[in-house]
Amino acid sequence: MPLDDPDLTGRRVLVTGGGDGLGRQMTEAFVDAGATVVICGRREEPLARTAEELADRGTVIPVRADVTEPADVDALVAAAGEIDVLVNNAGLAHRAPWPQARSEDWRWIMTLNVESPFWLFQRFVPGMIERGWGRVINVASVYGLVGGDASRYPGLDLDIASYFASKHAVIGLTRFLAAQVGASGVTVNALCPGMFPSPANDDALRPEVIAALEQGTPMRRLGTDRELRSAVLFLAAPASSFVTGHSLVVDGGWTVW
């Protein structure tokens, strides 16, 4: 089976934050691989648009849900049904100079980026264990592995301390959970993208920023949706059955310097 084109026919996938940005790219990949894809997010419009635009390619089920709210999580679980592949993609960064960072903002980022993946793991993975097969993919970042280099963002601040801390935590949580369910047929891995253009960062990707990012990457370019697609599909595929607790870095060499 080609690793960049796995057959997920009959599988049911949940992508949080699946209506736009990198989540939308992942949703398209799973639809094209034959899966039924449930997507959730706080805003109805991008969810509905994605479901409509992909309707001729497969089945996308939009569910408006804020994964930081327990009641919304309950509703999402009821609407999603049995999930074979859980992609914890929803996440944000809060920008503030570290001396002025407020605890309420810090806690909200940690709830969204770290706690909500754990809540969803609690709700969906027991069913995977019963069925003897499942995939959990926690979307981390290269910034779950390194401390960041502000010189790669000329004219911008890299004041996102809670984001860095949360993505390091996601990788630690991934390793812990992988060990807990290792003998069950369920794998748990982290996906760590480098810089991939998406509507969420269009405003920041000015020409001088793109140039600095490319200069800071050994491959001297940004990633493409095809390269992200291949990575997430590999982690979801039957072919990755002996890969667990791993952080798959897709960054053009960003983290080797």
Query: Active-site residues: which are they?
Result: 163
What tokens were used for 175? 């390793």
What tokens were used for 107? 């806690």
Question: Which H or E run includes 27?
Answer: helix 21-32
> From start to end of the chain, where are the E strands?
12-16, 36-41, 60-64, 85-88, 134-139, 186-193, 247-250
Q: Name the nearest CA neighbour of 216 among 189, 195, 239.
A: 195
CA-atom Rg of the chain in angstroms: 18
Q: Which residues contact 77 (CB under 8 A, 6 or more apart)?
A: 123, 124
* Sheet with 36-41, side-by-side order of all strands: 60-64, 36-41, 12-16, 85-88, 134-139, 186-193, 247-250
